[in-house]
Amino acid sequence: MEFENVIIINCNEEILPYVKSMHENIEEERRLFYVGITRTSQNLWLDHCRFMRNRSMDPSRFLYEMGVLREMTPDDYKVGEKVKHISFGLGEISYLDKESIEIVFANNTKRKFDVMVLLRNDMISKV
């Protein structure tokens, strides 16, 4: 059985794989996920949330195993690159190392951040 569009929501740890199946039935959870993603003939959407019921949620390990999701690292950015900060808006990276990032925003306002905090919380994105 095939469908033109397949949408799988809540691809989060403790949901997919289910928390009670993580240790004993992980291969069955993986198989069911595989069956779901192979039912599409055209489009596949995989969705995960960052928070649920005021609790931080991690993406499902299956998304990482598939290679469709990976954590951004400081190496993915470079000095001079344009970025968008979730609160401060558009800016340009003026300094970057493994621990900190400095971004120049409108009106020449410079802000320095812990780079991993920004990346892990999706607070900056490339423009």
Domains of the chain: which residue ranges?
3-66, 74-126
Model confidence at 77: pLDDT above 90: yes
Domains 3-66 and 74-126 belong to one CATH topology: no
| Alpha carbon distances (Å) from 71 to 34, 75, 77, 101 | 22, 11, 13, 17
| Alpha carbon distances (Å) from 127 to 54, 90, 97 | 29, 8, 20
CATH architecture of the domain covering 74-126? Beta Barrel (2.40)
Model confidence at 122: pLDDT above 90: no
Q: What CA–CA distance (Å, rounded) separates 116 from 124?
A: 11
Binned at pLDDT 50, 70 and 90, residue 69 comes out as confident
Binned at pLDDT 50, 70 and 90, residue 80 comes out as very high
| Confidence (pLDDT) at 21 | 86
Q: What CA–CA distance (Å, rounded) separates 86 from 72?
A: 16
Please provide the average confidence, as pLDDT, over all residues in the chain.
Answer: 93
Rounded average pLDDT over 64-76: 87
pTM of the predicted model, to two decimals? 0.61
CA 53 to centroid of chain Cα atoms: 19
The CATH code for residues 3-66 is: 3.30.160.800
